[in-house]
Amino acid sequence: MIHAEAKRRLAAVVGERGYLDRPEDLLLYEYDGGVDKARPELVVFPRTTEEVVQIVRITGEYRIPIVGRGAGTGLSGGAIPRHGGVIIGFARMNRILEIDLDNERAVLQPGVVNLDITLAVQGQNYFYAPDPSSQRSCTIGGNVSENAGGPHTLAYGVTTNHVLGLEVVLPDGSVVTTGGKEQDYPGYDVTGLLTGNEGTMALVTKVIVRLMRAPEVVKTCLAIYETVDDCADTVAEITARRITPVAVEMLDGVMLRMVEEATHAGYPLDAAAVLLIELEGLREGVEEQLEQIREVCTGCKAREFRVAKTAEERDLLWKGRKNAFGAVGRVSTSYYVQDGVVPRTKVASTLREIQKIAEHYGLTISNIFHAGDGNLHPIILFDHHKAGDLEKAQKAGEAILEHCIHVGGSITGEHGVGMEKMDLMTQLFSEDTLDTLRGFKGLFDPECRLNPGKVLPTGKGCLEIRQGPLTAGNTI
């Protein structure tokens, strides 16, 4: 339990309506978008960096673990308070502090919703490129912590390619700034190091991002296939011809039917798979690429190739893709989303392996993913009311990730390691590499109070955590 005096002091920092401690309220913060759960003992909502500093220093006096949380849309348990303690929710730090279009920059508090960045500047023909599927709700602080991606990062890159500077609070209460508005700063790339640290090294309180000019022309295409292999082979052929669309998304037949029944986006119900392909740029270049893409898709046995004729048609196609996870809820009581990466030449064989894994565990697995960069998102359907079903889903997910490693890929492309993939890190990295990663964690957070029990595998992570003065009975 959190010491009563510590709780009183924390409540004084954020005010009467700035914290939650009732059991029924804490229930809402014991989970994220994944399947793991752990309940905090207190949730606080600071409004300023100064309040974050006070919270960090008070919890430090009592050795209380702290976990930063954005919108809770993460899919690997990153915002789950595995060791209890205090969640610092950044929902109230949600202001756009500056828009500098002359230099194509924006300065943001961590609670700013991803899509709101683009909405703030699209009237001036600018946008913010990283666009996770949860962009209507996920926040920039969480995006930075997880190094979030999205469909359009095939051409534009992931979050780290668009974050130029950070303000962070370290576990000792120090406020540190890294990078800035300029293109490059001398010294070590600490901004790059902290982008993707999954909240284990620092709490992000300010973000400087790059804004981009809106393209002259956008073309969105839908290629429809009778077999999954033909669809996957198209992705490899696009790469082989050195064509780089801004997005190449693949949905298999199981996912297509769930999405179409929920959103009526115009996807064919009888197809084995489709590719959703988007091109952007100058008109002449886009028209040329469009014909190249049409030729590749047709050559790889696409039965139909559609081009959205209006902005409304384009938006409808993307509505189907962006709302896919919600559509699954109409079919299954629960689902488990994975996030592996394979070389693009291995997409077809990996999808066949995923089907074998599904059959082995007696589960349905649908697939929707960023095919252009080989970032797979198998969605494993299960019934959480059925004893042992969750465990089967988790074993199937682990088998998929082990296959990704085997073919030269990775265990995450954008969702992070969190608490669900920690022990797979030993299959991806050598002991020396893991020791180096542990060294970085220890440098920033020597007492291991910040998001403990994440990223590093068992035996390489945090030591025992104690709350309150070092007295008997306070071990978590």
Q: What Å distances lie between residue 436 and 107, 207, 276, CA to CA?
A: 32, 27, 40
* Tens-digit pLDDT profile for residues 214-242: 999 999 999 999 999 999 999 999 989 99
103 and 115 share one domain: yes
Among 294, 326, 358, the domain-final residue is: 326
pLDDT at 268 > cutoff 90: yes
Domain contains 5: no
Residue showing tokens 């390619």:
161
Query: What pLDDT score does 466 carry?
Result: 43
pLDDT at 475 > cutoff 90: no
Domain contains 453: no
Query: What pLDDT score does 473 carry?
Result: 31
As beta bridge partners, residue 380 has: 336, 365
Domain contains 372: yes
165 and 241 share one domain: no
pLDDT at 298 > cutoff 60: yes
pLDDT at 461 > cutoff 80: no
Q: What Å distances lie between residue 287 and 39, 280, 283, 292, 438, CA to CA?
A: 53, 10, 6, 9, 49
Between vectors from CA 438 to CA 185 and to CA 208, what angle results, nearest 5°?
Answer: 30
AA letter at 198: E
Domain contains 197: yes
Domain contains 189: yes
100 and 207 share one domain: yes
367 and 297 share one domain: no
Domain of 361: which CATH number?
Answer: 3.30.70.2740
- Domains of the chain: total: 3
pLDDT at 470 > cutoff 70: no
Domain contains 66: no
Among 160, 185, 213, the domain-final residue is: 213
Q: What Å distances lie between residue 281 and 136, 161, 212, 363, CA to CA?
A: 25, 19, 12, 42
375 and 310 share one domain: no
* Tens-digit pLDDT profile for residues 24-74: 999 999 999 999 999 999 999 999 999 999 999 999 999 999 999 999 999
pLDDT at 142 > cutoff 60: yes
* Tens-digit pLDDT profile for residues 358-392: 999 999 999 999 999 999 999 999 999 999 999 99
Domain of 106: which CATH number?
Answer: 3.30.465.10
Query: What pLDDT score does 1 carry?
Result: 83
Please give the residue range of the domain that contains residue 321.
217-326
Query: What pLDDT score does 471 carry?
Result: 32
Residue 175 has a CB neighbour count (10 Å cut-off) of 15
pLDDT at 97 > cutoff 80: yes
Domain contains 441: no
Q: Say if residues 62 and 20 touch (Cβ distance below 8 Å).
A: no
292 and 369 share one domain: no
What distance in Å separates the CA atoms of residue 360 and residue 396, rounded to the nearest whole number? Answer: 9
366 and 414 share one domain: yes
Residue 136 burial by CB count (10 A; 0-12/13-18/19+): exposed, middle or buried?
middle
Q: Say if residues 24 and 429 touch (Cβ distance below 8 Å).
A: no
pTM given for the model: 0.94
